[in-house]
Amino acid sequence: MPVVDVRLLAAPAFSLSIGVDGAMRYAGVNDSLCRLTGLDVGDLVGRTPAECLPPEIAAHVETQYRHCMKLGSIYEYEEHLDLPGGAKWWRTALSPILDPATGTATGLFGMSSDITDRKRDELELRSAAFKDSLTGICNRRRFDRDLDLAVSGALEAGRIFALVLADVDRFKPINDTYGHAAGDAVLQELAGRLAKGIRSTDRLARIGGDEFAAILWVDSEAATDEAMQRLRFHLDEPMRIQDHAMRVGMSFGTVLWRPGMTTAGILAEADHAMYREKRAIAA
């Protein structure tokens, strides 16, 4: 070992030897990989991942190496590693080095490429696809996905949550009186105020023209009431839009998930609750 002299390769590459005790040690690392990772050849060669890498990273890469050994064939994967050279996304291809007599793996050969720019572009596109362009919060597409996941989690694991639907009171007169630009500014302001009232684990979305929704991770009616107090807290303050002072209210419909409720069922119940509150305000 190593069968392949990785120092002769231009692409980032490494090799590992596998001892009779099953321990894997880096047998070769080339300069290209060292430059990108910020790791030093002398700190790697002859050592196991656990001896030269941070514990979480060592456990992760060793899991990948052993998976390749178990497969006994080429194995490719993507990973995000925070190394001395900086946090980067990598695409790595591993190949076991087999003993021709026994067919057992005596080592591994790996080649990696830095795909950070591509992954960043992918993540930005994915984020844009799930973001409401006007308010910057989640859009209907993301909300539908999150609600399906929440209901699935509740059905399978009993993780309780509350669904909140909200609608702006008398929004049409705002558009008619002050114009659509003022209406957009109101929606942006409301989105910001609602966002202040939810926790980082909750989800807020704009799902229609003047309709908002939230998924709140609560497990009781009492916790739901507390969460709704936080959500409503910043809405009472008047807002100033285009030099006009406005008080803009919202009607809410809140439902705590119950065993057996489907996505359609909880949506319908929250919608009915919201319109009951809206009718009470209008009365």
**Alpha helical stretches, state H, the chain:** 31-37, 41-44, 49-52, 55-71, 116-129, 140-157, 171-178, 180-196, 221-233, 263-282
Q: How far, CA to CA in Å, does 109 sit from each of 61, 96, 181, 203, 261?
A: 13, 6, 60, 43, 51
Cα–Cα distance for residue pair 249/237, rounded to 1 Å: 10
Cα–Cα distance for residue pair 35/84, rounded to 1 Å: 10
275: which 2 tokens?
């319109």
Q: Which of 132, 167, 202, 210 is catalytic?
A: 210
164: which 2 tokens?
């909140």
Say how many C-beta atoms besides its own lie within 10 A of residue 207's C-beta: 18
Cα–Cα distance for residue pair 90/67, rounded to 1 Å: 17
249: which 2 tokens?
């209210």
Cα–Cα distance for residue pair 70/147, rounded to 1 Å: 38
Dihedral angle, C-alpha 179, 184, 190, 192, nearest 10 °: -140
213: which 2 tokens?
């929704």
Asked about 169 being catalytic, the answer comes back as no
Which positions are catalytic?
Answer: 210
